[in-house]
Amino acid sequence: MLGYKLSEEQYEQIQGQFYAPYEFFNCVQDINDVWFLFLSQQDKEYILNTSWNWLLILPEGEYTPKPAPPFPPLE
């Protein structure tokens, strides 16, 4: 899955920030501890002419999720 790659500083700048009345940035780390941001086409169109438009020129990269932790067996 492709996403926008963020530096630690960029992550701290946008994480949890609202870009619309009920929408906020929520970044995730991949298996290599690289921060990623995923935006829908609608999100991209919304932020295109805002102060957040710099996010659209960030490099894209392949996101590899961290493995799920082991869960105890159900009894």
Whether the Cβ atoms of residue 17 and residue 43 lie closer than 8 Å to each other: no
Tell me what the mean pLDDT of segment 34-40 comes to.
97
Q: What's the whole-model pTM score?
A: 0.86
pLDDT in tens, 51-66: 999 999 999 999 999 9
Q: Residue 21: which residues within 8 A CB-CB, separation 6 or more? A: none
